[in-house]
Amino acid sequence: MVAYLFYWIDELEKAHFIGILPEKRKNPERITQESIINLGRRIVGNNADANNIFFIQVTIDERTGEIIWPKRSIRTQEET
């Protein structure tokens, strides 16, 4: 199952874990970065600045509950 780990960045630029939500939408066309951030806003409230929220998409093994983290991606300056 796909889920999103949400984090909020405070005024000191420190990231705080705010929650995890599973993806329940069946239609992948409805899943956008903006719609995922809106899920995060529901956790911290509508007054939250979307620029201070970020998420990491993970997979959760439904049988064991284990979180499967995405592979790290390292890009060089030439690739960006």
| Predicted confidence (pLDDT) per residue in 15-71, tens digit | 999 889 899 988 888 999 988 888 888 777 766 676 788 999 999 999 999 999 988
pLDDT on residue 39: 82
Selection from 47, 35, 39 nearest residue 18 by Cα: 39
Angstrom distance (rounded) from CA 41 to CA 49:
8
Total domains in the fold of the chain: 1
Q: Domain residues for 27? A: 2-79
Residue that the structure tokens 């405070």 belong to? 10
How far apart are the C-alpha atoms of 60 and 47, rounded to whole Å?
A: 29
Amino acid at 25: R
- Strand pairing class (67-68; 53-60): antiparallel
